[in-house]
Amino acid sequence: MGIGTQIVLQDAVNGLLLGGVYAAVAVGFSLVWGVLNVVNLAHGALVMLGAYATYWFAASGHLDPLATLPVVGYALFLFGYGLQRFVINRVIGTSFLVTFLLTFGLQLLITNLALAWWTADVRSVTTAYSGWALTVGAVVVPAVRLVGAGAAVLMAAALAAIMRWTQFGMAVQATALDREAARLMGIPVARIYARTFALAAATAGMAGGLISLSFPIFPAMGTGYTLVAFVVCVLGGLGSVAGAVVGGFLLGLAQTFASAWVGPNYNNIVAFSALILMLVVRPAGLFGRAGHFRG
Amino acid sequence: MMLLEARSVTKLFGCLRAVDAVDLTLAAGEVVGLIGPNGAGKSTLVNLISGLERPTSGTLVFAGHPLQGEGPAARARQGIARTFQVPQSFGTMRVRQNVAVAALFRGQPAASVPLALREADEVLEFVGLTAKADAVAETLTTPDLRRLELAKALALRPRLLLLDEVMAGLTPAEVNGLIAVVRDVGARGVGVLVIEHVLRAVMGLCSRIVVLHHGQKIADGARAEVVANPAVIQAYLGVPYGAAA
Amino acid sequence: MAEPTAGTSLTRAAEGLIAIVLVLLLAFIPLVASTYLIRILTGIFLFVALASAWNLIGGYAGYADFGPTAFLGIGAYTTGILMTQAHMPFPLALAAGGLCAMGAAAGIGAVLLRLRGHYFAIASLGFMLVMEQVAANLEITGGGSGMNLPVARGFTPFYYWMLTLALAAIGTGALVPRLRAGYALGAIRGNQEAAQVVGVRPLPYKVLAYVGSALFFALAGGVYAYWFTFIDPPTVFDPDFGIQAIVMVLFGGAGTVLGPAGGAIVLKSLDILLTNTSGLLHNVFFGGLICVLVLFAPRGLVELLRAGRRHLPDRRRLQRSGAG
C-alpha cells in the first residue's frame, strides 16, 4: 500500500467518524423541521447544553460520558418538552420568519446565559480511554472518535426504529403528513409536537455528549453545529433519518478531504459550497420528500 | 387568426391527469365560459395558459406565437392577464398602488408612477372600487379583493383575460354589476375565459361554453346545446364515474 | 410600503421643515457636545444606517437576509486594504468598498435569491461565514491576526460620515416606495406569483434590493474600520451587526420608511443604558427582546400601536403575510 493510499484511507476514516457525529446532530434537527416545519436555530444550543452537562458529570462526578448519556438525553428531553409546549408552540403554523427569529432569539439567550454561567473558557472531557487508538494497517482510529461515531449511528437507528415501529412514531408521521387530518383522527397534535421536539432535543443533547468526547466545549459552539445540521438536511434531504445519516457522512467526508487537500481552515467554505450546489442542482436532497418524515 | 389556441394540452401531477389532451380556441372579443365540477382541471388550465405551470405535453399558441419558454411575467407583458381563485393582493400596499403595479409592468407600461396611479384610479372606478382606493389591500373584504383582482388584470390592458371565479361569494346585484363590466371588456375586443362555479353568471355572460370533467373536455359549444348535453348533466349531477366519460 | 399617495401640501411642508431643523441640529451637535456623547451618537447613526439598509431587502422585498454582515466585512476590508496597501485617500477607498460589496451582492444574490425563504435565510448566513473564513485565510487581509488602518486625526469626521450614511439610508428608504422598483418590491413581498402575472420579474428587483442593502452595509463597514483602526475577521464579520439591524427593523416596523431608524434609536439607546456596553448582557438583552417581539408583536411596535388604536388585527393573517 502506497503512502498516498494510506493517507486517503486515513482521511476517509476520519471523515466517516466526523460524519457520524454530524449525523447525530442532524437527525433531531431534521425531525423538527420535517414534522413541525420549524427550522430550529436553537438546535446547536441544545447540543451545547448536552456537551456541558456531560462535561460537568465527568469533571465533578468522574462519570463516564457514555454512562451519563441517557441522563443527559432525558434532561434535554424535559427541557425540549417545556420549550416547545410553552414557547415555540405559540408560533407553530405562522410564517417561517417568525419561527426562525424566535428560535434564533432562544439560541442567543441560551448561548449567552451559558457564557455568563460557564465563561468563555474552552473545556474538554478526558476519559480513561482518551489516549487509546486502534491501528488497522496504517490507519489509526482514535477510540473516542470511534465510540462517538458508533454511538451516534446507534442513536440514529434507535430514532428510526421509534419512528417506524411505535404507535408514537406512526402518530408523528401522520401529523407530519397532514396536521388537520391527524387532528381529526384523534391524534393530540400539540402533545405529539411537544414530544417530537423533546425527542429531538434529547438527540441533540446526546450528540453534545458524544461531541464532548473528542471536540472542545464552549458556549458559542452551537452556531456551527446548527449550520452543520442544516447543510446535512439539505444534502440528505429533509425528513428522514437515513437522509440525515448519509448527509452527515457526506459532509464529514467532504470537510475532511478538503481540509487535507486545501487547508484546515476551509470547513465553512466547503459546507456552504455543498449547500449551494445542492440547493441549485437538487433541492429535494439525495433522499428527500418534502413535508414528510420517514423512519 | 385565433387569439388563443390550446392543442392537446396535458398536465400530469404524478399519475393524476389534471388536464388531459384539451383542445381549446378563443377569438378576440369572444367571452367563453369554462365550467366543470370541483377538481375538473379548470384552474390548472388557467395556470398553464398564464405560465405558472408548464404543460407536460401539447402546445399553447397566443396570437399566432407559440408559448414555450416564457415565464408568467413575459406572458403578462404580451397581454395575458388572470385573476386568482383565492385573491392574491399585495397586502401591504394600498389598493390604488396594487393596480398601479400592473400599469407599470405591462408590455407598454405607464410612463411614470403618477400616471400609473391616475390610470389605476380609472380602472378602480370601472370595477366600482373607488371608495377603497386608499385602503391597505389586506384590510379588504373578500368581494372587494375579487374586484381588486379584476382591476389588476384590467390595468395590464390585456388581450386575453382569464377570470378564475371572480364572482364567487358575491351578491346577485354584485354579480350583475360584474357581468356588465366583463361584457364591456369583451366588447372592446379582449378575449375572455370565464371560469365559474356560479352557473348563472356564465349563462348570462357567455354564448359559448366549454366543460371540463376529470381533466378532459367533454363539451364545447353554444350555451343551449351544452346545457342539454347528457354528459354534462351527468358530470354535474354526479352519476357514476364510468358513465360520464 | 403603504406610502400615502396624497398628502396635503401643508403637512408635507411641515414634515420637510421638521426634517431640515433636525438635520441642522444634528450637524451642530459636535460643536457643543462632549466626546462621549458624540461617540454614542455615532454608534446610533451606524445602526440607523444598518437597520434602514436591512429594511430594503428584509422589509421592502420581504427576504430575510441573515448574513448582511458579510457586506459590512467586505466594505471594511476593501477600505482597509486600499488605504494601507494602495495608500488611497479614505473617501476613495470607501467608495471602492461600496462598489465591491455591490458586485458581490449582485453575483451571490442572483443565485441565493432564487431560493425560498428558509433556504435563502440560512444560505445568506452561510455566505457570511464563508466571507469570514476567506478573510481569515487570505494574506492581503492579514489573515487571522487582522490589519491596522492609518489612525485618523480627530473623531468628529466619523460623526459626520455616519450621520451622512444614516440620512442617505433613510432617504433611500423613503425614495424606493415611490419608484417603479418600489412597486415591484411591494408586489414581490405581497405574493411572488401574483407579482409575476402582472408582469413583474421578481429576481432583478430582489437583487436590486439586496445590492442596495449591501452598499450601505459596506459603507458603514468602511467607516467603522477607519474609526476603530483595527479590524480582524471576527470583528467585522460579527453576525451581531446584522442581527441587531434585523431586530431594530422588526421593532420599528418592517417595510416602513422611518420605523427601522426609530427602532435603531430606541433599541441602541436602551442597549447602551441597560447593558452598559457589556457584550454578554447585550446579547441576553437582544435574545430576550427577539423572543418577546416575535411572540407578542410580530409586525413591530408601530403596527402594535396602530392596531391598538383601530381594532385588533387578526394575528394569523398578519403573520402569514410576512416574509416567505
- Per-residue pLDDT of C175-203, as tens digits, reads 999 999 999 999 999 999 999 999 999 99
Phi-psi region of C126 (alpha: psi -120 to 50; beta: other; left: phi over 0): alpha
Which among A91, A109, A276 has CB closest to C294?
A: A91
- Closest partner residue to C198 (CB to CB) among B51, B105, B136 is B105
Confirm or reject contact between C314 and chain B (CB < 8 A). no
The answer as to whether A111 is a domain residue is yes
In angstroms, rounded to a whole number, what is the distance separating the alpha carbons of residues C20 and C49? Answer: 18
Distance from CA of C321 to the nearest CA of B (A): 7
Residue A165 phi/psi, 5-degree rounding, is -115, -5
Q: Encode pLDDT of C277-306 as tens digits.
A: 677 788 888 888 888 888 887 666 555 555
A65 in any annotated domain: yes
Helix (H, G, I), strand (E, B) or coil at B179: helix
Is the per-residue pLDDT at C324 higher than 60? Answer: no
Find the residue in B nearest to C253 (Cα). B92
User: Per the domain annotation, does A86 fall within a domain?
Assistant: yes
Residue C272 contacts A where some CB pair is shorter than 8 Å? no
Cα torsion angle, C45, C50, C51, C55, sign: positive
- Under DSSP, the state recorded for A217 is B
Say what the pLDDT of residue C322 is.
34
- Residue A169 in any domain: the answer is yes
Q: Which chain A residues have a beta carbon less than 8 Å from that of C132?
A: 268
* Structural domains present in chain C: 35-303 (1.10.3470)
Query: What's residue C8's pLDDT?
Result: 64
Nearest chain B residue (CA) to C190: B90
- The answer to whether A136 and A4 are in contact (CB under 8 A) is no
Smallest Cα–Cα separation from C98: which of C86, C110, C109, C106? C106
Write out pLDDT tens, residues A77-127: 999 999 999 899 888 877 777 888 899 899 989 999 999 899 889 998 888
Distance CA B218, CA B199 (A): 17
Task: Enumerate the residues of chain C whose CB falls inside 8 A of the CB of residue A106.
Answer: 287, 291
Residue-level pLDDT at C314: 38
Identity of the residue numbered A163: M
DSSP B206: -
Instruction: Give me the residue label for grid cell 403595479.
Output: B101
Place of cell 346585484: B173
ipTM attached to this prediction: 0.91
Q: Has residue A290 been placed in a domain?
A: no
Spatial distance between the Cα atoms of C79 and C64, rounded to a whole number of angstroms = 27
Does any domain span residue A286?
Answer: no
Q: What rounded mean pLDDT belongs to chain C? A: 87
**Distance between CA atoms of A36 and A104, rounded to whole angstroms?**
16
Q: What is the pLDDT of residue A293?
A: 44
Interface test with C, best of A43, A91, A110, A112 (most C CBs within 10 A): A112
pLDDT digits (tens, 9 = 90+) for A132-175: 888 888 888 888 889 889 999 999 999 999 999 999 999 998 88
Q: Is the separation of the CB atoms in B87 and B112 below 8 Å?
A: no
Q: Residue A195 has what pLDDT?
A: 94
Q: How far apart are the CA of C196 and the nearest CA of chain A, in angstroms?
A: 21
Tens of pLDDT, residue by residue over C140-158, are 998 888 999 999 888 899 9
Q: What share of chain C is helix, strand, coil (3-state, %, to 5)?
A: 75, 0, 20
Residue C301 has a pLDDT of 59
Please write the tens of the pLDDT for every residue from A41-58: 999 999 999 999 999 999
pLDDT of C308 above 80: no
Cβ of residue C235 closer than 8 Å to a chain A Cβ: no
pLDDT (mean) for C35-46: 94
pTM, full prediction: 0.87
Q: Are B6 and B56 in contact (CB under 8 A)?
A: no
The answer to whether A67 and A185 have CB atoms below 8 angstroms apart is: no
CB-CB under 8 Å, C123 with A272: yes
Instruction: Give the 3-state secondary structure of residue C148.
Output: strand
Q: List chains touching A (3+ CB pairs under 8 A).
A: C
Judged by CB atoms closer than 8 Å, whether chains meet at C322 and A276 is answered as no
Closest chain C residue by Cα to residue B95: C2
Specify the pLDDT at position C127: 92
E-strand ranges in chain C read: 147-148, 230-231
- Give ∠ CA B162-B166-B170 in degrees, rounded to 5: 165
Is there a domain that residue A295 lies in? no
Residue C28, Cα to own-chain centre: how many angstroms? 25
Asked if pLDDT for residue B240 goes beyond 70, the answer is: no
> A interface toward C at CB cutoff 8 Å?
39, 87, 90-91, 94-98, 100-102, 104-113, 115-116, 227, 230-231, 234, 263, 265-269, 271-273, 275-276, 279-280, 283
Can you spell out the DSSP letters for B138-169? GGS-HHHHHHHHHHHHHHT--SEEEEESSSTT
| C42 alpha carbon, distance to own chain's centre | 15
Structural domain that includes position A219: 3-281
8 Å CB contact of C194 and B72:
no
CB-based touch C/B (3+ pairs, under 8 A): yes
Neighbours of C321 (CB within 10 A): 19
Mean pLDDT of B60-86: 93
Longest dimension (CA), chain C: 60
Interval A214-219 mean pLDDT:
92
Nearest-Cα residue of chain C relative to residue B53: C193
Rounded mean pLDDT of C239-248? 89
A291 falls within a domain: no
The CATH number of the domain where A216 resides is what?
1.10.3470
Best residue of B50, B52, B90, B159 to probe chain C, by most C CBs closer than 10 Å:
B90
Domains contained in chain A, number: 1
Beta-strand pair B160-164/B191-195:
parallel
pLDDT tens sequence across A252-282: 999 999 888 887 788 888 888 888 888 777 6
